[in-house]
Amino acid sequence: MFQGPFAESIIHNAIDEQLLSIHIHNIRDYTTDKHHVTDDYAYGGGGGMVMKPDPIFTAVESVLGLTKSQDSIMQNTDSAVQDLALNTQLPLLSTPIILMSPAGRRFNHEMAKELARHERIALICGHYEGVDERVREQLCTDAISIGDYVLTGGELPAMVIVDAVARQIPKVLPEFAPLNESHANGLLEYPHYTRPPEFRGWRVPDILLSGHHANIKKWRQQQSELRTRAASSQRSILEG
């Protein structure tokens, strides 16, 4: 699941330039039984399987505590991430260990910025009905939700977080990019236009063609404020 998104565009370049490395570990590889079972029936009944604590604890402790990350699928496809020793000597405590969970804190721009300051982060992807609660209580430092809906697994949420965090790492984006972006300064970004100046009868606002930089700046600021106000009143209507 991870190979596609991380092999493209900005994230791919960032890996290539060693600004970031991504290691993927299969929890199943940390089971000790013959069939590599990672789930079991829920105590108390009810349908659905629950991910067992043992393989997850073992996986996280082994990945963060030391060792070789030979199970990273990115390793084979990208020479830039082959030097996996880079981030693996750090003490366990300094690494946020985050469970992907619809019951977690709602992910946002501030959290992405905060996570980008860490040398490394560990994201745990759940499946089935969820994960034994002791993982959240005793192993994880945090639980994050990417929105108020339920997905079939934690992989997509983890990829969303990696993408958003990667953009906050210095040099991943061009210098100018992160400053005006939506959410960076509490405002949504102004609308963008490119050529042609008229498309199917819809014209680019005259001011953008005027070449008058001060006025353009003012117009963009106004548009940002309008959009932000519109979006926040829409949200407060939705949230009742």
CA distances from 134 to 25, 52, 199 (A): 20, 9, 57
Across the chain, which distance is largest between two alpha carbons, in Å? Answer: 71
Q: What is the Cβ-side half-sphere exposure of residue 5, based on CA atoms within 13 angstroms?
A: 15
In the beta sheet, which residues pair with residue 40? 50
Pick 133 or 225: Cβ nearer ligand SAH? 133
Residue 207 tokens read as: 């001011």
The secondary structure of residue 93, as a DSSP letter, is G
Long-range contacts of 187-193 (CB under 8 A, 24+ apart): 187/224, 187/225, 187/227, 187/228, 188/224, 188/227, 188/228, 188/231, 189/224, 189/227, 190/219, 190/220, 190/221, 190/223, 190/224, 190/227, 191/223, 191/227
Pick 81 or 144: Cβ nearer ligand SAH? 144
In angstroms, give the least distance from the CB of 149 to ligand SAH.
6
In angstroms, give the least distance from the CB of 5 to ligand SAH.
16
In angstroms, give the least distance from the CB of 128 to ligand SAH.
6
Pick 122 or 208: Cβ nearer ligand SAH? 122
Pick 53 or 154: Cβ nearer ligand SAH? 154
Contact positions toward ligand SAH, by CB under 6 A?
100-103, 125-127, 129-131, 145-147, 149-151, 153-154, 157
Pick 25 or 219: Cβ nearer ligand SAH? 25
In angstroms, give the least distance from the CB of 211 to ligand SAH.
46
Pick 151 or 204: Cβ nearer ligand SAH? 151
In angstroms, give the least distance from the CB of 107 to ligand SAH.
8
Alpha-carbon distance 108 to 121, whole Å? 16
In angstroms, give the least distance from the CB of 235 to ligand SAH.
17
Query: Residue 112: enclosing H or E segment and its boundaries?
Result: helix 109-116
Q: Which residue is nearest to ligand SAH (CB)?
A: 126
